[in-house]
Amino acid sequence: MIEDTLKNPTGSDRTAKLITFERRHIRPIPLDERHGTTRGLFFVWLGINMLPLTVVTGALGPTLFGLSLGWTITAVVIGNVIGGLGAALHASQGPQLGIPQMLQARGQFGYFGGSILALIALIMFLGFFASNLVVAAQSFAAVFQSDSINAGIIVCAVIALAVAIFGYDLVRKLMGVFSVVVGVLVVISIVIAASNPATFAVQSDLGFTVAGFFGMLAIGVTWQLAYAPYVSDYSRYMPKEGGSRQAFWATYLGLVIGTVLVMILGAFVGLTTTDGDAMSALGGLLGGFGPIVLFAFGIASAVMNSSNIYSGVM
């Protein structure tokens, strides 16, 4: 079925291609199979941060560092703009080599050095995976008013695993869809939060501190750099000729825009978070629109979390 689909990707075969398993895994992607596009790569990285965990991270400005809304947003923007350069530069290697990011580390650091980095990256993938599961489950718990998040964790883990098993194409297509859906909801949420008087009711003790500002800025930088072990897993499908420039800008703009947008929403949420549960605070801030956004975040997190499994098995 896989071979027939590749030869004739039209009509019903186009549907069949969506549900076939990836064949290449860590092997180099041949030039005649480089079907990646700039738009597709952009939406992968735009959507990968449309997650509840990004909201929680943006909320750290007011809740942890005591920063005002303006200073939190400033630190978020500067940090992500700087950190995104490192991840995007790594992405530009994908079209040239055609292999996953961590496999490239062997050429740069040798067999043993690359193995150590791969182990560190695997631990990081698992950490992100677990964190996303917990926060996504909290979103579902807030929607269904449940005191337990165990069922939500199991559901989100199963969804992520199922998507990752099929590989690059299904991960890319679903991330593209959810990046648009959740992106629209995030923009609407920011407008609602900014127009809600409760958002600014209590923030007299918030302002600017040097330690707080640079702490939040550092979070933005490291948040982006954490994607460096991922990026060529997707950019390796870009064409070799001219693909490096396209991969750089698609990755950079997708990562920075997606992260900044959701962290700004998190900054608004942080102004009203009192018990450490940012997702419940988000639901309360948005009123009747809250359950829709929380449910979408939960589903999107389960799907986007497949990238951690996908890159982890590389």
Dump pLDDT digits (tens) for 243-260: 899 999 999 999 999 999
Q: For residues 172 and 294, what is the distance between their CA atoms, to the nearest angstrom? A: 22
Of 298, 264, 261, the residue nearest 283 (C-alpha): 298
**Alpha-carbon dihedral angle through residues 118, 120, 123, 124, given to the nearest 10 degrees:** -100
Q: Do residues 249 and 88 touch, judged by C-beta distance below 8 A?
A: yes
Residue 4 clears pLDDT 50, i.e. is over it: no
- Residue 23: phi, psi to the nearest 5? -100, -30
Token pair belonging to 128: 């992100």
> Mean pLDDT throughout 16-24?
63
Residue 171: per-residue pLDDT:
85
For residue 231, pLDDT over 60 is answered with yes
- Tokens 């799907």 — which residue? 303
- pLDDT at res. 204: 63
For residue 289, what pLDDT is reported?
94
Query: Which of 275 and 159 is assigned the larger pLDDT?
Result: 159
pLDDT: is 219 or 109 the higher one? 219
Q: What is the mean pLDDT of residues 92-99?
A: 90
Three-class SS of residue 68? coil
| 23: confidence class by pLDDT, cuts 50, 70, 90 | confident
pLDDT given for residue 312 in this prediction: 82
- Answer yes or no: CATH 1.10.4160.10 is held by domain 39-312: yes
**Bigger pLDDT: 74 vs 7:** 74
Length of the chain: 314
**Residue among 306, 312, 310, 19 nearest 156 (CA):** 306
How many alpha carbons lie under 13 Å from residue 35 in its C-beta half-sphere? 8
pLDDT of residue 19: 56
pLDDT, position 253: 97
Average pLDDT across the chain, whole number? 87
- pLDDT, residue 212, reads 96
- Of 249 and 311, the one with more pLDDT: 249
Tell me which amino acid residue 141 is.
Answer: A
- At residue 225, what are phi and psi to the nearest 5 degrees? -65, -25
| Structure confidence at residue 7 (pLDDT) | 44
- Return the structure tokens found at 220: 């933005």
Q: Pick the more confident residue, 256 or 108.
A: 256
Decide if 171 contacts 309 (C-beta within 8 A).
Answer: no
| pLDDT, mean of residues 184-206 | 87
The pLDDT of residue 21 is above 80: no
Alpha helices in the chain (DSSP H): 2-7, 12-18, 38-47, 52-58, 60-63, 69-91, 94-97, 101-144, 150-166, 168-195, 210-225, 232-235, 243-270, 278-286, 290-304, 306-312
Contacts of residue 70, Cβ cutoff 8 Å, sequence gap at least 6: none
For 157, phi then psi, to 5°, come to: -65, -40
* Residue 188 vs residue 274, higher pLDDT: 188
Q: Compute the radius of gyration of the chain from its Cα atoms.
A: 20
Instruction: Give residue limits of the domains in the chain.
Output: 39-312
Please, which residues have CB within 8 angstroms of residue 43's CB and are 6 or more apart in sequence? 175, 176, 179, 180, 254
pLDDT tier at 279, thresholds 50, 70, 90? confident
* Cα–Cα distance measured from residue 159 to residue 186, given in angstroms and rounded to the nearest whole number: 22
Q: Tokens 């005591």 map to which residue?
A: 66
Question: Nearest 5 degrees, angle CA 126-CA 131-CA 135?
Answer: 150
Tokens of 207: 């302002």
268 pLDDT higher than 90: yes
Task: Find tokens 């590389």 and name the residue.
Answer: 314
Percent of the chain with pLDDT over 70: 93
Q: What is the pLDDT of residue 20?
A: 64
